[in-house]
């Protein structure tokens, strides 16, 4: 039996200080990106709908509807290397209120694009036997575009 599964090894995340003129693969693809090096965990990205509940007193039943869609956030983790151009851009994005474009290339060749607000860049020092690392939360604003 064969599988359609593939490894995350070789996946890359890149950031652009620009935002696309159009929110589609052509618009995102026209931007220049800088790879964020030393990543060890990229996290998850993708839409999730909120649940809207309605509880009419008359029939004692909960009804559920799909509400707004949220494309989530990327929880990036890696070895701290602030001299890396990608991490330098990530640090600048955290200090800014502007959205940045992100490009995620999976090992399979699939590309995911989104606009993100970089909410944090935290340093984790840990113990004597650990790598000094960083964690960065990137909130996705708008849809995730697959190319």
Summarised one tens digit per residue, pLDDT across range 80-116 is 998 999 999 999 999 999 999 999 999 999 999 999 9
Element (H, E) at 35: strand 34-35
Strand 48-54 to 122-124 pairing: unpaired
Instruction: Give the pLDDT mean for 43-52.
Output: 95
- Is residue 103 a contact partner of residue 29, using CB atoms and an 8 Å limit? no
CA dihedral 51, 57, 58, 63 (to 10 degrees): 10
The predicted model scores a pTM of 0.90
Q: Is the dihedral of CA 35, 104, 142, 77 positive or negative?
A: negative
Instruction: Give the pLDDT mean for 120-126.
Output: 95
The neighbouring-strand residues paired with 123 are 134
- d(CA 78, CA 37) in angstroms, rounded, equals 8
Summarize pLDDT for 19-35 with one digit per residue, the tens.
Answer: 999 999 999 999 999 99
């Amino acid at each position: 039996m064969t599988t359609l599964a593939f490894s995350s090894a070789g996946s890359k995340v890149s950031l652009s200080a620009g935002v696309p003129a159009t929110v589609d693969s052509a618009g995102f693809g026209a931007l220049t990106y800088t790879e964020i090096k030393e990543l060890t965990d990229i996290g998850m990205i993708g839409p999730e709908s909120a649940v809207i509940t309605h509880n009419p007193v008359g029939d004692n039943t909960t009804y559920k509807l799909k509400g707004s869609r949220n494309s989530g956030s990327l929880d990036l983790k890696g070895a701290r290397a602030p001299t890396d151009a990608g991490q330098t851009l990530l640090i600048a994005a955290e200090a800014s209120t502007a959205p940045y474009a992100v490009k995620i290339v999976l090992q399979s060749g699939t590309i995911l694009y989104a606009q993100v607000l970089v909410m944090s860049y935290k340093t984790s020092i840990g113990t004597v036997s650990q790598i000094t690392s960083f964690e960065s939360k990137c909130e996705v604003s708008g849809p995730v575009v697959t190319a």
